[in-house]
Amino acid sequence: MSDELITRALVGGQWINGRGGTFPVTDPATGDEIARVADCTAGEVTSAIEAAAAAFEGWRLRSTKERAAVLLKVRDCLLQEKDTIATVLSRENGKPLAEATGEVGFAASFFEWFAEEARRHYGETIPSPSPSKRLVTVRQPVGVAALITPWNFPIGMIGRKVAAALAAGCTCVVKPAEDTPLTALLFAKICERAGVPAGVVNVVPCSRERVEEVGAALCASPRVQVLSFTGSTAVGQWLYSRCGPTVKKLALELGGDAPFIVFPSADLTRAVEGAMASKFRNTGQTCVTANRIFVHESIHDEFVSRFASAMDAELKVGRGLEKGINQGPIINQRQFDRVSRND
């Protein structure tokens, strides 16, 4: 695959520009502009939904075996292009290259998993109250799925959402995070190469200024039957409130507070190892990262001392593409200011 960055949206099998012009994607380590990406509006989103709805009529009729074969091809293409994808991911997300490479494999694993699960997508026979009747359930795809993905796992979360939707027979409109659209667009190219039919996977990036416009278009469309979102609780609530009029199915993975608790009976060596693994994955930018650490007063000072020593010894901060780095930059200035506050 060419090393040239993909910057246009994919709608109905066509690579298009956004009516909103373009928006910059920057390297979070340096602030330098990497590329300018199509800034999609509600118009492009509507076109993508229509393309997905049209493609659904053919995709849903494919056998589970046929759909599984396509998913496995996507898996193979992801693994073949692992180094290229990981480099793009690391450039726009800042994640250390080793972590980025592992994430591509993580994404590929979902296509294998759901390809296999799709073939066991059984219905049920239910005991009937009448001896002359039989009750049978059949599982069918619901339609177009709107998938809004986060910046902290730019291809892992796309893989998890898209693989499940495609395996079930649904088609997709993906709205990637505005900080990491290049990985999502490269994924769209992978799908195209793997033989995913036109319109089955559509990717519509947009700038932060157009997020509300694009989100509202996905929520308002009666053709979108299910919406999946991974991100903050506040945005999840906003989406939830706007999906009511069209009675969409919702799958929301929202924020929370993850405590790490160290009891006085703890093995401090293992406790420090656990805290390091929990706190500093992806520079702490994951939904399961410990963001509150409670330590019993009788072991507090020793734990803090050991924890600080481990941080000094093990954490190597820098640009994700540099060798030996295991802690990349915070994703953007807004997030940096947030974690820098003392309140």
Looking at the annotation, which residues are catalytic?
253, 287
What is the spatial distance between Cα 94 and Cα 319, in angstroms, rounded to a whole number? 6
Which spans in 18-126 are helix H?
Answer: 42-59, 64-80, 82-93, 97-118
Q: Rounded to an integer, what distance in angstroms lies between the CA atom of residue 35 and that of residue 31?
A: 12
d(CA 250, CA 323): 41
**Lookup result for tokens 């180094």:** 83
- Helices (H) then strands (E): counts for the chain: 11, 13
First-to-last alpha carbon distance for the chain, in angstroms, is 47
Contact 40, 8 (CB under 8 A): no
CA angle 25, 27, 29 (to 5 degrees): 155
Measured CA distances, 94 to 20, 90, 170, 316 (Å)? 26, 5, 32, 13
Answer for the pair 248, 218: CB distance below 8 angstroms, yes or no: no
Q: How far apart are CA 145 and CA 161, in angstroms?
A: 9
